Structure 1
């Protein structure tokens, strides 16, 4: 994991999180952790929880006795036409490993459609040092659930949800919900051939913690690095590289996301055929 340390004149040591959008490594859950996830999911969601489709577990670096665990469950109340097209329940839990008690939880429903593709490795637990205020370290969960096998003009994936370390009535509080950290778009031509010349751009985002403060939490910079890929007469080569940035500010409840500027202004409005 690659971190870039930035020292500001105010004397604060903050960390610019130079993280790849998706870092592959082992975050396997033990049998007892899977059992806790399953029982917790069934207690929270009653009878609609089916088998675990994806899971990840990792001990929080700053809290050695607390396990961060997440799972995506099949929705058994859904009756799809095809077996692999049911809806899903996504849950995140903090588990005390001394007694395997669920300390806090978060749940969200994932509606299955043509844009969703869930695999057994679709969850990544992001425990990088998101120091959002002195003495407060957030943590994230990234979902790799987008189906990019289509001929569309643009797409996104690697959805980051950032959670506060403050627990309210046994509930985890999301500070950012499903912020895409990977993007692609066509700026010329079509995605599935048929053009003598086609230009696409793939972009990967990172978060950096800034020294400025909004409503008590440090601002975050979404820094996105894009790389053009050009196809001309059957030949592939790299085009220009571009960087984009936008600042995310806490509004007292969550970090505000201006979708007109994520990952960049007019990202989805520049397509030429």
Structure 2
């Protein structure tokens, strides 16, 4: 494949790490901006989310767009005004958008749903915007949204994942998702969780995303790197990377990818 112009090789393999949700800087939304967005979305009575996100606006994050100070990127999870479904069972509206910072007018947007279940529950701090330098092609800068679940999940799982990153790119008036992966995952290496005499062992991986030196279908390759540990505070055991190539529509990749794992021990 042809190489991208000189600006992209300069970014090759430049990792763009993401901190865990509890160490990330707050990304609050201005009340006037939220009022404008609520009106455009046919909603009303929004207040900035706090606590467990029990209001109509369950979660929100806003951040200036690095390439243009007159624009901001926003992500919202909200329910319709008459929806009284309890947390953990909601089907929340999910907006990812670029907006005019002053007026709050929507420019480019992606609308979807966040369907809560045993593995996904949203609170006021569940959404976070990643505006690292994802220059995928000349004139195309992606940005990411991380969704962190606060659901308790299964009591004794063999594996789990959280912090789902979705990258979106501009596509006319829309924002189009092109890549998604969980940024944190763990899996059983030996034994069985919750069984004290099984000699249980697990490994966890924290994933980072970078740009590769080549391109396919006009978009830079993505390099996903896992730093693998035996526990929360343990040193890194190994680093494992894999390259994902754009297929003309998206970067095909399993959200819960296990490329970093070893064969389980008996």
Considering the TM-score relative to the shorter chain, is it more than 0.5?
yes
Paired position in structure 2 for 1:264? 259
- Asked if structure 2 preserves the Cα contact closer than 8 Å seen for 1:157 and 1:182, the reply is yes
Shift of 1:51: 0.6
Shift of 1:148: 5.1
The secondary structure found in structure 2 opposite 1:257 is: coil
User: Following the alignment from structure 2 to structure 1, what is the Cα–Cα distance between the partners of residues 107 and 31?
Assistant: 19
Residues 151-177 of structure 1: per-residue CA shift (max 9 Å, x gap): 10101111111111x332x2111111x
The structure in which a higher percent of residues are strand is 1
Where structure 1 has 5 or more consecutive residues not aligned to the other structure, the ranges are 1-7, 44-49, 230-235
User: Following the alignment from structure 2 to structure 1, what is the Cα–Cα distance between the partners of residues 183 and 117?
Assistant: 21
Stretches of 4+ aligned residues off by more than 4 angstroms? 75-80, 236-240, 269-273
Residues 106 and 216 (structure 1 numbering): CA distance in 2 closer, same or farther, change over 3 Å? same
Paired position in structure 2 for 1:209? 211
User: Following the alignment from structure 1 to structure 2, what is the Cα–Cα distance between the partners of residues 40 and 88?
Assistant: 17
5 Å-filtered alignment, 1:180-199, equals: 180-195=182-197, 197-199=199-201
Where structure 2 has 5 or more consecutive residues not aligned to the other structure, the ranges are 44-54
Paired position in structure 1 for 2:72? 67
Residues 56 and 256 (structure 1 numbering): CA distance in 2 closer, same or farther, change over 3 Å? same
Residues 21-50 of structure 1: per-residue CA shift (max 9 Å, x gap): 53510200000121233233337xxxxxx7
5 Å-filtered alignment, 1:222-261, equals: 222-229=224-231, 238=234, 241-258=237-254
User: Following the alignment from structure 2 to structure 1, what is the Cα–Cα distance between the partners of residues 102 and 84?
Assistant: 39
Shift of 1:83: 5.5
- Asked if structure 2 preserves the Cα contact closer than 8 Å seen for 1:56 and 1:123, the reply is yes
Shift of 1:224: 0.7
Residue 167 of structure 1 is aligned with which of 165, 171, 179?
A: 171
User: Following the alignment from structure 2 to structure 1, what is the Cα–Cα distance between the partners of residues 187 and 234?
Assistant: 15
Residues 202 and 37 (structure 1 numbering): CA distance in 2 closer, same or farther, change over 3 Å? farther
User: Following the alignment from structure 1 to structure 2, what is the Cα–Cα distance between the partners of residues 42 and 65?
Assistant: 24
Residues 95 and 200 (structure 1 numbering): CA distance in 2 closer, same or farther, change over 3 Å? same
- Greater CA drift, 90-99 or 26-35: 90-99
User: Following the alignment from structure 2 to structure 1, what is the Cα–Cα distance between the partners of residues 204 and 152?
Assistant: 12
Residues 182-216 of structure 1: per-residue CA shift (max 9 Å, x gap): 10111112333423522111110001101101000
Shift of 1:255: 1.0
Paired position in structure 1 for 2:127? 123
The secondary structure found in structure 1 opposite 2:41 is: helix
User: Following the alignment from structure 2 to structure 1, what is the Cα–Cα distance between the partners of residues 264 and 81?
Assistant: 40
Paired position in structure 2 for 1:232? none
- Greater CA drift, 135-144 or 51-60: 135-144
Paired position in structure 1 for 2:48? none
Residues 110 and 272 (structure 1 numbering): CA distance in 2 closer, same or farther, change over 3 Å? farther
Shift of 1:271: 5.0
